[in-house]
Amino acid sequence: MWSMFIVPDEEARTVNTSPGVHQPSGGLEGFLGSRGGGRKHRNRTHSSSGDGISENQEGKIKLTLFMAVTSIMLTVLGVGTEFWVELKPSKSFYNNQTCLVAHYGLWKCCTKTFLVSDMDPKKEICGPLHFQGESNCTFFKFYTTGENIVLFQKTPEKDLTVASAMFAIISLFLMVMGTICIIMAVSKGVQFFLKPAAVCFILSGVLIFLCLIVFHQSVLSFLASDQSIPLHHEMSWSVTCLGCAGALVIVSGVLFLLLAVPLSPWEKCLPKKNSDT
């Protein structure tokens, strides 16, 4: 009686390969194959619709993200250091033996005392800063108590300094938000996050340059507060780091914006005709 229910393998293969017979299920391998094929088809459909990220586009996004991260590191270095501007009086400011040089940034001010004998006798101003000398640094108190600092009988414009510090902090926040959007776009494989990331990066670059402009105006107002002591001033390497960061982050934002725009916008506006029909 079991021969009525058992079908030999050859007959089963013959039945399976016979034309015109509908197979409800191809076993576990056929089931997994159909699932994988459907998934690949959905992925191809998703990428061809313009919402997905191709492998070539993902590589470009990661390279641009590296540029944006480099700008973030330069911004942190520039904002965290106090070498924004150097103030150098003449050698005869105090006496003929010592010379005083000051430099400050957004948060802190430092003074350094040199020996006149260690400097170049042909120069009439103090410096440079890399000479060995006694250094003294203090944080600005107008962020906490409102008390201003006095350097060479001059007082920095605290409102402009606070405004430049706010621009720097907001630009850093926008950079971090843009980086989070790019990470989500790469991890999810969706182009939607590229446009807000581009806007964040471009705005952060604009704020960085506004920060530099406002800080330079604060330095000019500081020098004009008292004309009795002439000072030689120059922007230092912290400003250079911030300027490079602003340029890099704006370029990164423009590149992300170009990557978010479809390569052929006519394919989205006009329906694509099927060649079979």
At 174-227, the pLDDT tens digits run 999 999 999 988 888 878 888 999 999 999 999 999 999 999 999 988 888 777
Choice among 91-105, 161-175, 181-195, 248-262 with the minimum mean pLDDT: 91-105
In a domain, 109, yes or no: yes
> Can you tell me the distance from the alpha carbon of 131 to that of 50, in angstroms, rounded to the nearest whole number?
59
At 61-89, the pLDDT tens digits run 889 999 999 999 999 999 999 899 988 88
In a domain, 255, yes or no: yes
State yes or no: pLDDT of 15 exceeds 70.
no
128 three-class SS: coil
CA distances from 72 to 164, 180, 247 (A): 17, 13, 11
> What is the residue-wise DSSP string for 82-122?
S-SEEEE-BTTSS-SSEEEEEEE-SSEEEEEEEEGGGS-TT
The per-residue pLDDT for 12 is 43
In a domain, 238, yes or no: yes
Mean pLDDT of the chain: 76
In a domain, 243, yes or no: yes
Q: What is the mean pLDDT of residues 131-139?
A: 78
In a domain, 73, yes or no: yes
The order of strands in the sheet holding 98-104 is: 134-139, 108-115, 98-104, 85-88, 232-235
> Which DSSP state fits 52?
B
Q: Which residue has the higher pLDDT, 252 or 146?
A: 252
Helices (H), 225-270: 237-260, 265-269
Beta carbons of 104 and 81 less than 8 angstroms apart = no
The per-residue pLDDT for 171 is 95
- Count of structural domains within the chain: 1
The pair of three-digit structure tokens given for residue 84, joined into one six-digit string:
């924004």
The per-residue pLDDT for 192 is 83
Q: Which residues contact 28 (CB under 8 A, 6 or more apart)?
A: none
CA-closest candidate to residue 190, choices 52, 45, 48: 52
Residue ranges making up the domain that contains 126: 55-261
> Which DSSP state fits 240?
H
> Can you tell me the distance from the alpha carbon of 212 to that of 18, in angstroms, rounded to the nearest whole number?
79
In this prediction the pTM is 0.73
In a domain, 95, yes or no: yes
Residue 162 belongs to a domain with what CATH number?
Answer: 1.20.140.150
In a domain, 30, yes or no: no
Q: Which residue has the higher pLDDT, 226 or 48?
A: 226
In a domain, 46, yes or no: no
N- to C-terminal Cα distance for the chain?
56
